[in-house]
Amino acid sequence: MDALDVARVCVRRWYVFLTMVGLATFAGLGLMPEGHPVYNATGNFAVVYQGPAVKPGQADPRAANPLAASNGLLLRQSIVNDLNSPKSQAELAPADLMGTAPSDTPDGSRFSVVTQRNSENVTVQTYGPDPARVSGTVTAILKAAENRAMALQDRARAPKNSRLSVFVTLPAQTVEIPPASKLKLVLSLAAVGILAGAGLSLLLDRLLTKRRARRLSRPVQPLAAPVVHENESATPTAMPAAGGNGSQPLSAPRTAAADRQQSVPLGGAASLNAE
């Protein structure tokens, strides 16, 4: 069966095909987004050592800092975990912001702090309906990252000359994300309806074709001839006299003598008697 055969079946079962396409199209119209733009703010920071350069033959002061190992990897990851905690999420961002893109599944976060792969930069981003609020939130998170770095190193009792600090590599940048295309959504669901309608049309056509073939292949029983019983009389039943009812007796059959007597004129009655 090629595409032309499928099209013929869809035309033959148009009531099924059009119903599925219409339902899918109406579903697409109902699921269309309202069309409000979403703004995304992004910023980056890195953990660096801003102390004096270590001269050859001198001991590196960062060796006394337990969080400075692997070029500050442990401190960087500790800052990321602290900022992504539910407490920091509630403190640093309004409730109407999101940490995931509108096209992704929401995870309940208000912003996201992620370490970039093969890089020492940490990316902070958030999504929301107001550009000023998303930009201000990212700026506040970058500032909070500096405070978290100092607090974590204080807790680790790192010497002052061995401490790492947060350096902002990219201030808050805001971009507008246009809403999803309404026409694209409707066309996508209409295409799904076309496929579903074609499938149901083929299924219904196959079932009806099999039923028709089964009905035509069924043997036809011949009509039985009428049976005449021996005790039935072939003489027709006499009808009641005209003007009478069914309760009156039927008249007797007329004889030949009665017919001959009726045909003789009145004047010749005497001669007939004489004979």
Residue 33 has pLDDT above 80, yes or no: no
Residue with structure tokens 């005209």?
Answer: 242
Residues 51 and 152 in one domain: yes
The first and second tokens of residue 126, run together, are 């958030």
Residues 82 and 148 in one domain: yes
Residues 194 and 139 in one domain: no
Residues 12 and 143 in one domain: no
Which residue range(s) make up the domain with 99?
Answer: 38-177
Which of 155, 177, 199 terminates a domain? The answer is: 177
Question: So what's the pLDDT on residue 12?
Answer: 81
- Residue 117: CATH number of its domain: 3.30.70.1130
This prediction's pTM: 0.57
Q: Which residues pair with 43 in a beta bridge?
A: 124
**Buried b vs exposed e over 197-213: b needs ≥16 C-beta within 10 Å?**
bbebbbebbeeeeeeee
Mean per-residue pLDDT, 220-241: 57
pLDDT in tens, 80-117: 999 999 999 999 999 999 999 888 888 999 999 999 88
Helix or strand (DSSP H, E) at 47: strand 38-48
Q: In this structure, is the dihedral angle defined by the CA atoms of residues 8, 13, 18 and 20, taken in order, positive or negative?
A: negative
Tell whether 249 is covered by a domain: no
Q: In this structure, is the dihedral angle defined by the CA atoms of residues 252, 257, 260 and 266, taken in order, positive or negative?
A: negative
In whole angstroms, give the CA distance from residue 233 to residue 163.
132
Tell whether 129 is covered by a domain: yes
Question: So what's the pLDDT on residue 59?
Answer: 83
In whole angstroms, give the CA distance from residue 3 to residue 210.
22
Mean pLDDT over all residues of the chain?
80
- Tell me what percent of the residues of the chain surpass a pLDDT of 70: 75
Q: Which residues pair with 92 in a beta bridge?
A: none
Residues 95 and 208 in one domain: no
| Phi (first) and psi of residue 68, to 5 degrees | -95, 0
The first and second tokens of residue 262, run together, are 């009726």
Structural domains of the chain, count:
2
* Position with higher pLDDT, 237 vs 69: 69
pLDDT in tens, 4-19: 777 887 888 888 888 8
Tell whether 227 is covered by a domain: no
Tell which residue, 177, 182, 178, 181, has the closest CA to residue 30: 182
In whole angstroms, give the CA distance from residue 189 to residue 25.
6
Residues 116 and 78 in one domain: yes
Residue with structure tokens 């807790």?
Answer: 155
Tell whether 245 is covered by a domain: no
Residues 8 and 25 in one domain: yes
Number of H helices, E strands in the chain: 8, 4
The first and second tokens of residue 237, run together, are 């039943």
Residues 147 and 207 in one domain: no
In whole angstroms, give the CA distance from residue 163 to residue 275.
171
pLDDT in tens, 173-217: 999 988 766 677 778 888 888 888 888 888 888 888 888 877 777
Helix or strand (DSSP H, E) at 209: helix 182-216
Which of 177, 193, 223 terminates a domain? The answer is: 177
Least confident of 2-11, 36-45, 64-73: 2-11
Residues 24 and 151 in one domain: no
pLDDT in tens, 136-170: 999 999 999 999 999 999 999 998 888 999 999 99
Tally of residues, the chain: 275
Residue 231 has pLDDT above 50, yes or no: yes
What is the arrangement of strands in the sheet containing 112-115, beginning at the earlier edge strand?
112-115, 121-128, 38-48, 165-177
Residue 243 has pLDDT above 80, yes or no: no
The distance from CA 80 to its chain's CA centroid, rounded to whole angstroms, is 38
User: In 3-state terms, what secondary structure has residue 70?
Assistant: helix
Tell whether 244 is covered by a domain: no
Residues 154 and 186 in one domain: no
Residue 246 has pLDDT above 50, yes or no: no
